[in-house]
């Protein structure tokens, strides 16, 4: 029987003071009638609200407010509101927005983030990083993960998850790439959308973040990004657009940086035009914590909710007084405040947060950890396996070396850092989750002799390796919100791998990292497994893949560069300067992000986007394509040509015969993908549809998508650099409004 751990009393205590919607749908409270549409309910509730009630919904508090708010003068935050906040807020959560008890409108209790509920006082279950689950190439993985972490959010009293990171991995060193879903808009949008869909299946709100082009952590609060509308719409914003369509998040979190000279949370183009007008987004835009810089400009340029206020030192841009003054002077029209509030109400009604108030509930941590383990088992990427060294079978002795593999697996830092049951293990200020691969390997291989060496001294690790049949070296690379990482392994780990490989040519490297790393030792080792930040059961997942209990089926959602010279921007602007130094970057590579950039430049990466090996082999054949309106239906078959069950990932790339004439920034784009589970000898047919936006260019003049007439090749394979079949189609010219996606 699963071990069920009741929640800490903190949660129960917090929840008994929470506002719960009254199940009263009497005619004078029509907004509480679940049979009415969310639009009608939001409108009716708005009509019933006083100005002060409206102002409550647009101004949120960070958890530091619990201790700091008392110092804020009453004319900034009225005393009654302060008391309400400190008596209702959940200690340790990201934020809180007071509800309107009189009308049955619940508080918004906000928790980070995409990997699980983040609250250092409440244990919860960590999924593998979002980049890892994107590597599954199966939206069911983030959906199931989202459903699990969303249920934990509910059970811990939260009705809003600040999840759904979908910034493209333009900058491989971005410290938050692990919170995002890779470098390709179709893959990233599909996977982040699936996560949000899963989270919101718990009748809570999720966000999509950080909108937009927030692709480096260095100077994130002062960086001005220059990028053309065309490039954005075809790449970074397309990822958000797809995520919005698939996941329908109730909220979008605007980002810290500036985009083309305007703050992310004060950006008429991104917020009003693209998000609300073109995509028909009905929910609300919340600010990232501390990302607001004005009252009237932010409100008029599309921000609906200021979040994260705490302290005397913060400027209360959307505080009651500021907003009242701006309304009185006409700087913000009254209808704009109504729109802000109606959008928030709409999200609360549409996502079910009003009809299904959050309640403290027991969490079955063991069942939830199993969801996380399955996600990891679908996501780890076998990068290299020369001579079929893996899986480990019949090995008598193994040297496990380095990476704190005797203690756990590393996790990412910052606002997505999840506290596991029993607490995280802190090793030199980095969190490790208590899932030691060493112990898991010993369980999987009870008759093997498994020695451990911490790897601090490469020479002594090499001695241990030389005495074993096989060496497994664990390397870890920390990444965190707040600063960018390095692609060079820290702490002499490259030397460790090289020396161990010299002592034992049967060396396997397991990489636990936020994203890509350089591997100067790659030619010296026969096998490499990329485990990313693998979550609360990462050790078990690694052991089960190394020993062959599970067939590896992850594929890279990012390219691994071979050197810094291959990067579109070898230097990170602002690196080494004090925080908040005004900095600039121009993304003149346009939409040529990741593999598109490598194709454009003719660079050979260390490992290509989409790459991932299996213990069996697959044969793809019968590629056929048939236009259907602007879309294309594609079919192909996949056969398991090996001797064990496994999962293939079929990838269809699109390539105009002349990509420049087609208006593209690079030679090819991912058009579709499908993961297929196959028994040995089994064949399955796969049908996928190419979204016409992936064939088109965005034309800012006229706000249109445009497929230029001509010949297009569709190429099929199991990685962006391993395409084995192609068919060609001649497509006619097609132009359509970019204002379609959500509204249609
Ligand atoms: C992060 C957000 C997070 C927020 C609240 C910010 O620093 O950028 O992703 O949701 O804090 O914790």
pLDDT tens sequence across 672-720: 999 999 999 999 999 999 999 999 999 999 999 999 999 999 999 999 9
Q: What is the torsional sign of CA 78, 81, 86, 87?
A: positive
Confidence grade of residue 25 (pLDDT, cut at 50, 70, 90): low
Using CA of residue 234, residue 226, residue 597, residue 167, what is the dihedral sign?
negative
How far does residue 143's CA lie from ligand 1's centre (Å)?
22
Residue closest by Cα to atom 4 of ligand 1: 289
Q: Which atom of ligand 1 is nearest to the CA of 113?
A: 10
Quote the ligand 1 centre to 111 CA distance (angstroms).
9
Q: Which atom of ligand 1 is nearest the CA belonging to 207?
A: 10
Q: Are 205 and 199 in contact (CB under 8 A)?
A: no
pLDDT of 344 > 50? The answer is yes
- 17 has pLDDT over 70: no
State pLDDT tens for residues 464-493. 999 999 999 999 999 999 999 999 999 999
Above 60 in pLDDT, residue 23? no
Instruction: Calculate the alpha carbon distances from 77 to 288, 348, 367, 618, 710 in Å.
Output: 20, 24, 43, 63, 61
Pocket test of ligand 1: the residue of 93, 165, 286, 415 to mutate, having most ligand atoms within 8 Å of its CB, is: 415
Q: How far is the CA of 430 from the centre of ligand 1 (A)?
A: 19
For residue 6, pLDDT over 80 is answered with no
Spatial distance between the Cα atoms of 237 and 299, rounded to a whole number of angstroms: 22
Compute the distance between CA of residue 131 and CA of residue 70 in angstroms, rounded to an integer: 40
314: left (phi over 0), alpha (psi -120 to 50) or beta: beta
Averaged pLDDT, 159-184: 98
Rounded distance, CA 534 to CA 433, Å?
9
Tokens 């052991």 belong to: 543
Question: Taking each helix axis from N to C terminus, what angle separates 365-379 and 538-546, rounded to the nearest 10 degrees?
Answer: 40
b/e per residue, 699-711, with b = 16+ CB within 10 A?
A: beeebbbbbbebe
Q: Across residues 154-168, what is the average pLDDT?
A: 98
pLDDT in tens, 502-537: 999 999 999 999 999 999 999 999 999 999 999 999
What pLDDT shows up at residue 740? 66
From the CA atom positions of the chain, what is the Rg in Å? 26
Q: Is residue 288 annotated as a catalytic residue, yes or no?
A: yes
The pLDDT of residue 247: 98
* Alpha carbon nearest to ligand 1 atom 3, residue: 415
Phi, then psi, of 239 in degrees rounded to 5: -60, -45
Contact 501, 528 (CB under 8 A): no
Angle between helices 140-155 and 365-379 (to 10 degrees): 160
What is the rounded CA–CA span in Å between residue 704 and residue 692? Answer: 12
CB 147 within 8 A of CB 199: yes
With CA atoms as reference, report the closest residue to 512 among 472, 537, 475: 475
Q: What totals of helices (H) and strands (E) does the chain contain, helices first?
A: 19, 31
pLDDT digits (tens, 9 = 90+) for 580-606: 999 999 999 999 999 999 999 999 999
Considering only CA atoms, which residue is closest to atom 7 of ligand 1? 289
Q: Would you call 46 exposed, middle or buried from its count of C-beta atoms within 10 A (0-12, 13-18, 19+)?
A: buried
Q: Which atom of ligand 1 is nearest to the CA of 415?
A: 12
> Is 38 a residue whose pLDDT tops 60?
yes
| Model pLDDT, residue 27 | 74
b (16+ CB within 10 A) / e for 511-528 = bbbbbbbbbebbebbbbb
- pLDDT for 178-236, tens place per residue? 999 999 999 999 999 999 999 999 999 999 999 999 999 999 999 999 999 999 999 99
- Give the residue, by CA position, lying nearest to ligand 1 atom 5: 94
Q: Give 603: exposed, middle or buried? Use CB within 10 Å, 0-12, 13-18, 19+.
A: middle
Rounded CA separation 594/666 (Å): 10
Residue identifier of the C-alpha nearest atom 6 of ligand 1 = 289
24 pLDDT band, cuts 50/70/90, is low
Mean pLDDT of the 372-383 span: 98
Pocket test for ligand 1, best of 175, 211, 288, 292 (most atoms within 8 A of CB): 288
Place of tokens 């998850």: 161
Query: Which of 107, 184, 236, 288 does the annotation list as catalytic?
Result: 288
Ligand 1 centroid, distance to 257 Cα (angstroms): 13
Residue nearest to atom 8 of ligand 1 (CA): 288
Residue 18 has pLDDT above 90, yes or no: no
pLDDT tens for 44-70 read: 999 999 999 999 999 999 999 999 999
CA distance 730 to 735: 16
Q: Is the pLDDT of residue 414 over 70?
A: yes
Averaged pLDDT for residues 124-147 = 98
Ligand 1, residues 63, 109, 110, 112: which to mutate, most atoms within 8 A of Cβ?
A: 112
Average pLDDT, the chain: 95
Task: Determine the atom of ligand 1 nearest the C-alpha atom of 482.
Answer: 7
**C-alpha dihedral sign at 371, 374, 379, 384:** positive
Mean pLDDT, residues 132-140: 98
Tell me, what's the pLDDT at 459?
98
Q: Which residues of 268-302 are buried (b: 16+ CB within 10 A; e: fewer)?
A: eebbebbbbebbebbbbbbbbbbbbbbbbbbbbbb
Quick one: pLDDT at residue 569?
A: 97
Specify the ligand 1 atom closest to the Cα of 210: 9
Cα distances (Å, whole numbers) of residue 248 to 205, 240, 337, 338:
10, 11, 23, 22
* pLDDT value, residue 26: 67
User: Which atom of ligand 1 is closest in space to residue 118's alpha carbon?
Assistant: 12
Q: Give residue ranges with CB within 6 A of ligand 1.
A: 94, 112-113, 162, 209, 288-289, 415
**165 three-class SS:** strand
Closest CA to 251 of 299, 171, 289, 196: 196
Q: Are 616 and 646 in contact (CB under 8 A)?
A: yes
Of 97, 108, 158, 162, the one to substitute when testing ligand 1's pocket (max ligand atoms within 8 A of C-beta) is 162
């Amino acid at each position: 029987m699963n071990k069920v751990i009741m929640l800490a009393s903190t949660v129960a205590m917090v929840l008994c003071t929470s506002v719960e919607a009254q199940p009263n749908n009497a005619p004078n409270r029509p907004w509480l009638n679940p049979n009415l549409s969310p639009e009608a309910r939001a409108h009716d509730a708005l009509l019933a609200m006083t100005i002060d009630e409206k102002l409550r919904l647009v101004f949120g508090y960070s958890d530091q407010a619990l201790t700091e708010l008392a110092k804020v003068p009453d004319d900034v935050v009225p005393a009654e509101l302060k008391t309400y906040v400190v008596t209702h807020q959940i200690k340790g959560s990201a934020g809180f927005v007071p509800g309107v008890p009189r009308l049955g409108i619940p508080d918004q209790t906000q928790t980070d983030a995409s990997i699980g509920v983040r609250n250092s006082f409440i244990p919860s279950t960590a999924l593998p990083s979002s980049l890892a689950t994107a590597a599954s190439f199966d939206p069911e993985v983030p959906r199931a993960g989202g459903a699990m972490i969303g249920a934990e959010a509910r059970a811990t009293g939260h009705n809003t998850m600040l999840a759904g990171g979908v910034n493209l991995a333009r900058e491989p060193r971005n410290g938050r790439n692990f919170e995002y879903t890779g470098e390709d808009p179709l893959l990233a949008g599909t996977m982040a959308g699936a996560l949000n869909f899963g989270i919101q299946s718990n009748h809570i709100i999720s966000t999509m973040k950080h909108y937009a082009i927030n692709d480096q952590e260095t100077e994130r609060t002062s960086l001005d990004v220059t990028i053309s509308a065309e490039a954005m719409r075809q790449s970074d914003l397309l990822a958000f657009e797809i995520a919005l369509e698939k996941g329908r998040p109730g909220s979008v979190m605007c980002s810290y940086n500036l985009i083309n000279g305007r703050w992310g949370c004060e950006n008429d183009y991104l917020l009003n035009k693209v998000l609300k007008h073109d995509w028909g987004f009905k929910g609300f835009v919340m600010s990232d914590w501390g990302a607001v810089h004005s009252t009237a400009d932010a409100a008029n340029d599309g921000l609906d909710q200021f979040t994260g206020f705490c302290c005397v030192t913060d400027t209360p841009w959307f505080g009651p007084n500021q907003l009242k003054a701006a309304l009185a002077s006409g700087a913000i029209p009254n209808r704009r405040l109504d729109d802000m509030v109606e959008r928030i109400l709409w999200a609360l009604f549409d996502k079910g947060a009003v009809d299904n108030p959050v309640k403290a509930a027991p969490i079955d941590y063991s069942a939830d950890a199993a969801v996380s383990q399955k996600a990891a088992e679908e996501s780890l990427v076998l990068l290299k396996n020369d001579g079929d060294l893996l899986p480990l079978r019949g090995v008598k002795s193994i040297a496990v070396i380095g990476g704190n593999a005797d203690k756990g697996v590393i996790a990412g830092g910052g606002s997505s850092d999840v506290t596991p049951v029993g607490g995280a293990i802190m090793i030199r200020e980095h969190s490790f989750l208590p899932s030691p691969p060493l112990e898991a390997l010993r369980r999987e291989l009870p008759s093997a002799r498994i020695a451990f060496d911490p790897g601090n001294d490469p020479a002594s690790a090499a001695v241990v390796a030389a005495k074993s049949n096989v060496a497994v070296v664990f390397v870890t690379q920390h990444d965190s919100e707040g600063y960018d990482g390095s692609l060079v392994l820290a702490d002499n780990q490259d030397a460790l791998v090289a020396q161990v490989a010299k002592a034992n040519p049967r060396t396997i490297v397991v990489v636990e990292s936020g994203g890509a790393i350089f591997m100067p030792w790659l030619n010296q080792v026969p096998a490499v497994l990329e485990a990313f930040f693998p979550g609360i059961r990462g050790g078990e997942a690694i052991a089960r893949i190394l020993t062959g209990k599970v067939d590896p089926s992850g594929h890279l959602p990012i390219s691994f560069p071979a050197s810094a010279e291959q990067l579109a921007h070898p230097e990170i602007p602002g690196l080494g300067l004090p925080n908040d130094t005004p900095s600039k970057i121009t993304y003149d590579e346009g939409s040529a992000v990741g593999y598109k950039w490598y194709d454009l430049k003719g660079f050979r990466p260390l490992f290509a986007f989409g790459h991932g090996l299996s213990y069996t082999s697959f044969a793809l054949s019968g590629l056929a394509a048939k236009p259907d309106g602007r879309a294309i239906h594609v079919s192909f078959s996949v056969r398991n040509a090996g001797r064990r069950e496994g999962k293939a990932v079929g990838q269809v790339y699109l390539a105009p015969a002349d990509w420049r004439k087609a208006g593209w920034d690079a030679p090819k784009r991912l058009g579709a993908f499908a993961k297929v589970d196959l028994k040995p000898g089994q064949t399955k047919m796969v049908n996928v549809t190419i979204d016409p936006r992936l064939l088109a260019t965005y034309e800012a003049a006229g706000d249109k998508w445009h497929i230029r007439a001509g010949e297009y090749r569709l190429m099929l394979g199991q990685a962006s650099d391993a395409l084995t079949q192609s068919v060609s189609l001649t497509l006619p010219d097609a132009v359509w409004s970019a204002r379609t996606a959500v509204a249609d």
